[in-house]
Structure 1
C-alpha cells in the first residue's frame, strides 16, 4: 500500500529528533508514523510542506486554472500526482487557533482541484461531488494541540474534522476517516511523550489497506466523528 504523509510544521521533518530548541512533537509523530508504516512493508511518500516552500495562497492565476481543471504551479502539479497515486493519506500538523495551520488549508485549496481530484455533477440530487481518486481508501489526521481533548470536542465543537472530514474528504466521497489527537502536549512528561510516539508507531505498523469504493449503507462513519483517540 502506498501511504502519502503530508507534514505541516515550520521546523520540517528534520525537527523530529529530541534536540532542545530544534524539536517538534508534530514532526516526531510524523516520523513515528513513517517508521511504523515502513516496518509494515508499506511504501511511504512524505510531503514536507515547509521544506518544499509551499505557499498556501491561492493566486489569481491559480484560481483561473482551478476553474478550468488545471494548475499553473509545478509544485501543486507534483502534489496532485502523488495524491492520485496514494492508497492512504495522512496529515500531521499542530492545531493553531483551534484549526490547522495555513499550509494545510492551502493544500486543500490549491491541490484539491476540481476536474483533477473531484468532479462536480450539475443538477445532481444531494451531494454534487464525485471522487476522482479511485485509489484513495482513507484519510488519517494526526493533530497536536495544547487544548484539552474534551474542551476541543464539546466547547469548540471540533472544527478540525468538520473542515477536513465533513467539509472536504467526506464531501468528495472518501471513506475511512480517522482522527488521532494528541492533546495537552505542553504538559506531558518526556516519558508520556515517548509512549505516545511508540503507540503511533505501533498503530501504523498494523495499518491495513482501506476498503475502497463508494461507502456502503450502514458502513459509513460520520465525517468528523471521533474515530480514534490518542493522548487522552
Structure 2
C-alpha cells in the first residue's frame, strides 16, 4: 500500500512528532510505502487568495504547491492526517490544505451543473485516517464542543466526497497523562500501523 501522511506541527519536540515517528515505523514494518507531506517544513501557504478563489470558480488550481500535492495524492491509496487540535479545531495549515488541495478539479468535481453532489477525482484513495492530539478530555470535546473534527473533517469533507473508510484516532489530555502512558500509546500506534 502507498500512503500519504499529511503532517502539521511546527515543533519537532511535540507529541505529534512522536506520533509521526511511530506511524512511519509501523508502516515500514508492514512494508508499506509512504510519502510525507510535512506542511510546516515544505513552506505550504494555507491562505486562500483572491486568485485561488478565481481558480476555485474555474476548477483549475494555480498554486504550484497544490499542483504538486495533487500529483503526489494521485499516487497513493490512503491518507493519514496528523495534527494537534488547537482551540477545538485543526491548525491553519491543515485547514488550508483542505481548502486548497481538496479542491474542485483537483480532488473532486460536481456530478452535474444543476446540483452540488460531489464525485471524487482521486479514485485511487480508498480511505482516510485522522490522528490528533489535544489536552481536552474526549467526553468534553464531544459533549461541550460538538466533536468539531468529526463533523467538519470526517463528515463535512471526506463523507461528502464518498470515502467510506474513515477513521479518527484521538489522543486526549496529552499534557496531563504520564510519560509512561504516552510511551504506551506510541507502542500501540506503531503496532496498529504494522498491521495496517
Match of 1:67 among 57, 72, 78: 57
C-alpha distance in 2 between matches for 1:53 and 1:98: 24
Contact 2:78 2:125 in 1 (8 A): yes
Match of 1:25 among 7, 15, 20: 15
- Taking the TM superposition and a 5 Å limit, the aligned residue runs for 1:1-20 are 1-11=1-11, 15=12
Q: State the Cα distance separating 1:115 from its structure 2 match.
A: 1.7
Match of 2:119 among 121, 127, 130: 130
Partner of 1:152 in structure 2? 141
Unaligned runs of 5+ in 2: none
Size of the alignment, in residue pairs? 195
C-alpha distance in 1 between matches for 2:57 and 2:24: 35
Match of 2:151 among 119, 143, 162: 162
Unaligned runs of 5+ in 1: 16-22, 208-232
C-alpha distance in 1 between matches for 2:103 and 2:74: 12
User: Which one scores higher on RCO, CA 8 angstroms, separation ≥ 6?
Assistant: 2
Deviations 1:25-67 (A, max 9, x none): 0111011111101110110110000001111100111111222
Q: Secondary structure of 1:139's match?
A: strand
Partner of 1:219 in structure 2? none
With the length of structure 1 as denominator, give the TM-score of the two structures.
0.81
Q: State the Cα distance separating 1:123 from its structure 2 match.
A: 2.9
Contact 1:55 1:103 in 2 (8 A): yes
Partner of 1:227 in structure 2? none
RMSD value, Cα: 1.1
Contact 1:58 1:106 in 2 (8 A): yes
Segments of 4+ in structure 1 off by > 6 A? none
Match of 1:98 among 78, 85, 88: 88
With the length of structure 2 as denominator, give the TM-score of the two structures.
0.96
Contact 1:84 1:117 in 2 (8 A): no
Q: State the Cα distance separating 1:155 from its structure 2 match.
A: 1.5
C-alpha distance in 1 between matches for 2:122 and 2:153: 16
